[in-house]
Amino acid sequence: MRVYLDYNATTPVDPTVLEAMLPYFTEHFGNAGSVHSPGQRARAGLDAARDAVAALVGAKPSEIVFTSGGTEADNLAIFGSVAVSEKPRKHVITTTIDHHAVLDSCHELERQGVEVTYVPVGRGPRHEGIVDPEEIRRALRPETILISVMHANNELGTIQPIEEIGRIAAEAGVRFHCDAVQSAGKLPLDVNRLGVDLLSISAHKFCGPKGVGALYVRSGTPLAPRFYGGHAERDRRPGTENIPGIVGLGKAAEVAHRLLASDAARIGALRDRLETALLERIPAARVNGDRVCRVPNTSNLVFPGAGGEALLIALDLEGIACSTGAACSSGSTEPSHVLTAIGLSRDDGRSSLRFSLGRPTTAQEIDRAIEVVPEVVQRLRALSPRSAAVHTA
């Protein structure tokens, strides 16, 4: 039995999503910018998708800008906000555990002369991997133009206090962007309740197609485009729209919105079953990140004495697919920046695995993982020089 437990990296396309997309490759192939009937049929699919995405995040359809995915949405939000600021000095705030799409954008801003503050997150047993809103407040300066904080961390699953940060940003008159790529389809989203001005999502994280996402832009929020060459998406994202992908995003948003509560309850129960069993059966194993304030599908565990890369390969040979961290960082031999940020040692960071569940996950798959993972950890520990220390800890 093959068991896939890497849904935070990507998800399979829901059959109903694929069914909705297929006509837009063939009979409804028109350009949505054309005024003739084929173009208007494509436009109707585009508009329906915009309505569905808006409903998922609690926005108005006119506030949704389609992109090629979460990374582009993050880049558009960050660079587009900095470009329209008239302040002579510019300062941006983010956290040490945000996604590379945000962190790498901030590093580029620093090369351009923008100052960036990377706010640390909690390292203790309570609120581990969660930023303190007051730390965000203390980081504010007169020249601060943007705060960017992710909603749910892609590696730990920890949920950040976005509502509180939204209130702080509003009080300071600072624009607030939220990367919600890992929370869309898993948590209820309401951009007004969250208090965000900009919010990024990506279709392939909730059973939609790859290569398409969206950025919510609050009405009246100026934003400079990253590309030029047309008037699509209200001049914010020019180019011929990827209608099949956008239709798929819309359908995935519609399905996720409808199944949100039932998916969360079922997947959360399976995640807890897996996590509890692994903690009971594997000596010295422990959870990385806060165990309460997190999305229902994610468990990040450290298995001291069993190297993560070797463990990952051994599990894959047994038919279990999981992850040592973010897919965008695969191939790196260094511990995840997220695990380093919560205070893990280099060895523990490299001995950690992320198990992320999804809508297709079954109880039988979880039982198989519970059977296999402890056996593989024990086998690798027997080969490790750290094994003795682990078993006597």
Q: Any idea which residues carry the catalytic annotation?
A: 328
Do residues 96 and 121 lie in contact, with contact meaning Cβ atoms separated by under 8 Å? yes
272 three-class SS: helix
State how far the Cα of 306 lies from the Cα of 277, in Å rounded to an integer: 18
Length of the chain: 393
Tokens standing for 164? 């509180």
Strand-pairing partners, residue 57, are none
State how far the Cα of 49 lies from the Cα of 30, in Å rounded to an integer: 16
Measured CA to CA in angstroms, residue 183 lies from 75, 92, 159, 195, 370 at distances of 18, 23, 8, 16, 26
State how far the Cα of 168 lies from the Cα of 164, in Å rounded to an integer: 6
State how far the Cα of 146 lies from the Cα of 80, in Å rounded to an integer: 11
Give Cβ neighbours of residue 387 (< 8 Å, ≥ 6 apart).
305, 381
Do residues 2 and 319 lie in contact, with contact meaning Cβ atoms separated by under 8 Å? yes
Determine phi and psi for 251, rounding to 5 degrees.
-65, -40
